[in-house]
Amino acid sequence: MSTRSQSATQRTLQGLLLKRFGMAVATYGLTALLCWVGFFVGLFQATAQTAVLMTLGAAASQLVFLALFLSRGNLRFADPSLTEAQVLTALTWLTLLLGLFDEGRGSMLVIYVLIMLFGVFQLPPRVFVRCALFAFFGFASLNLYEGYQLQLSTPSVAIMQVCVLAVVLTWLCLFATYAQAMRQRMRQRRFALQAHQDTLRGMMRQLEDLAATDELTGLCNRRHFLRLASHELEGMSRGCQHGLALLDLDHFKRINDVHGHAAGDRVLQTFAAVARACLRDGDVIARYGGEEFVLLLPNTEADQFSACCERLREAFNHAEPLGVRVGPLSLSIGMTLVHKDDDLDDALQRADQALYQAKRDGRNRCAATWEDADA
């Protein structure tokens, strides 16, 4: 993955984590509200000063998390969501708060569930169980301590509350394990789907290459050339001109007849190798059909284009096909220039006329039909 897309992914992740943190803060706010309701209806067994101190303490603990998220310090931890730390902090605050509730303690137990739900989809089952044990032993110790201090008004209710919390936490642990297994399965499916997509994309690319390539020479085929050339023509700016040439191997039928079809094939491959060596990256050479080839040279002048075609013709004169002796090789070239708004078929026809001229003048030469090129 590139550095840019990595940092974009990290930004998106931080955004999501901050949203989750916002939900946690909202839960703290609502619990603080409940705490104050308990205070005003007389269920909170401490002074207003203690209630204020607890509210400020909880807010301070959240500011620490906020600072970690904003400074991106959370990214240094194995789990940047800091879910376990947030859940343990919230459980500690809740257990301390429940210590100050007496009669309302049972109804406040539900807050344990809200806190644990934060970890259901995020925490690995082992860590989730650890948090559940922390919640259970925290609440049980609170009741044991109060029982030891003879502060429990109704011990039977306290025993019932501890048992209910044990059942609820056990259920949540099972649910978290199930949810994590589902999540894992979905992740595996997503990876498998991605792998299938990559394979399909690779096959599509291979198919496209196959559909665009001439099997014998490895050059572009006629269809692909026409598509590329039309595209080049459409994108041409005014005042710019491209060179277009048809190249035909001379007396090729004779090579086939005398030396065999395989030798003819080798000559075609030799021409492709010579053309590749003579031309530059942006130039387009394609097999137009049989022993005929077509060349498009972008942004060129008539003399530069002629020089390029001459070079190619001479290079082919000196080429020696590997493994066969077919005598001297030559080709004839018909050249023209293409301008903006020129019709590709017309241009090909002009090149064909020039090729005909080159053949008629004795072959192994270049001829041009520049006229009518100023469309």
Ligand X SMILES: Nc1nc2c(ncn2[C@@H]2O[C@H](COP(=O)(O)OP(=O)(O)OP(=O)(O)O)[C@@H](O)[C@H]2O)c(=O)[nH]1
The residues that touch ligand X, with contacts defined as CB under 6 A, are 216, 248-254, 256, 261, 264-265, 268, 290-291, 359, 363
Phi/psi at 124 (5° precision): -65, 150
Q: Which is nearer to ligand X, 142 or 273 (CB)?
A: 273
Q: Which is nearer to ligand X, 339 or 363 (CB)?
A: 363
Q: Which is nearer to ligand X, 70 or 216 (CB)?
A: 216
Sign of CA dihedral 362, 216, 225, 228: negative
Minimum CB–partner distance for residue 274 and ligand X (Å): 17
Minimum CB–partner distance for residue 355 and ligand X (Å): 9
For residue 301, which of 339, 358, 250 has the smallest C-alpha distance?
339
Minimum CB–partner distance for residue 273 and ligand X (Å): 15
Three-class DSSP labels, 31-44: HHHHHHHHHHCCCE
Burial class of residue 162 (count of CB atoms within 10 Å of its CB; 0-12, 13-18, 19+): middle
For residue 57, which of 31, 19, 20, 83 has the smallest C-alpha distance?
31
For residue 87, which of 39, 30, 128, 57 has the smallest C-alpha distance?
128
Minimum CB–partner distance for residue 257 and ligand X (Å): 7
The residue number whose beta carbon is nearest to ligand X equals: 264
Minimum CB–partner distance for residue 315 and ligand X (Å): 18
CA distance 342 to 253: 34
Minimum CB–partner distance for residue 337 and ligand X (Å): 24
Structure tokens at 295: 């060349």
Q: Which is nearer to ligand X, 84 or 250 (CB)?
A: 250
Sheet-wide strand order for 366-368:
284-289, 292-297, 241-249, 331-339, 366-368
- Helices 3-40 and 48-70, axial angle in degrees (round to 10): 180
Residues designated catalytic: 291
The answer to whether 81 and 65 are in contact (CB under 8 A) is no
Look at phi and psi of residue 8 and say left if phi exceeds 0, alpha if psi is from -120 to 50, else beta: alpha
Q: Which is nearer to ligand X, 242 or 313 (CB)?
A: 313
Q: Which is nearer to ligand X, 38 or 264 (CB)?
A: 264
